[in-house]
Amino acid sequence: MKILIESFKQFLKEAIDLVCPPATQDLELNTKNRDAAIEAEHIQYGPLNLDDEEYWERSAEHWNTTPDIAKKSRCGNCTAFDVSPRMKECLPGPTSEAIEDAEGELGYCWMHHFKCHSARYCYTWAAGGPISEDTVSAQWQEKNEFPEEPIEEKKKKRKKRRRKRRSKRGYGGGYMFDLGGGGDGGDGGGGE
């Protein structure tokens, strides 16, 4: 009986821990995270129109390759793209139907925390995907924290906190050393 209770407790813990990522349930959060990934220079999620040759040329230039080669590195074969059965249940639409269109399918990006389309691409693409098993999806979730705000907003807040700490320490956001006045009150006269 004790083993049964412990097994049930473990089952409940795993069920609670493996909730749907917030961005799959909150359109505003998903949109903020996606838009941040589109705008971030180091991510450049896209393209909006899959026929946008300028986008693919920029992507090819980023990787020092050709557009045809760049087009082979899509979200659909990225190591962070999750289309596991459990994740498909988190995505919008009837769970009994595949969420697909002519270009591919909807999944979840564990790197940037938004619903992602398999035909799209970004600069942080990494080979090895997609995630198609619940156990692998669970491992990604265990390693991730869910951001409640876009990454770019978090960076801005972090910089603001650093500036505030520096000003409390007397740095005032400027240089630690007085390069012009000799530390005498700023009149440059050396205190004479």
Please report, in tens digits, the pLDDT of each residue of the chain (192 residues total): 677 666 655 554 554 467 899 999 999 999 999 999 999 999 999 888 888 899 999 999 999 999 999 999 999 999 999 999 999 999 876 543 455 556 788 999 999 999 999 999 999 999 998 999 999 999 999 888 765 555 555 566 667 766 776 676 665 544 444 444 444 444 444 444
User: Parallel, antiparallel, or unpaired: how do β-strands 106-109 and 81-82 relate?
Assistant: antiparallel
Distances (CA, A) of 38 to 79, 80, 182: 19, 17, 47
Q: Residue 73: inside a domain, yes or no?
A: yes
Domain of residue 126: give its range.
20-154
4 touches 74 (CB < 8 A): no
- Here the tokens at position 132 are 């198609």
Task: Collect all residues with Cβ–Cβ distance below 8 Å to 39 and sequence separation of at least 6.
Answer: 152
Q: Phi and psi for 121 in degrees, rounded to 5?
A: -155, 160
Q: Residue 41: inside a domain, yes or no?
A: yes
Q: Residue 184: inside a domain, yes or no?
A: no
Q: Residue 191: inside a domain, yes or no?
A: no
Q: Residue 149: inside a domain, yes or no?
A: yes
The C-alpha angle with vertex 17 and arms to 11 and 21, in degrees rounded to 5, equals 135
Q: Residue 180: inside a domain, yes or no?
A: no
CA atoms within 13 A on the CB side of 65: 11
Q: Residue 159: inside a domain, yes or no?
A: no
Q: Residue 174: inside a domain, yes or no?
A: no
What is the pTM for the complete model shown? 0.65
Total domains, the chain:
1
Q: Phi and psi for 101 in degrees, rounded to 5?
A: -140, -170
DSSP state of 109: E
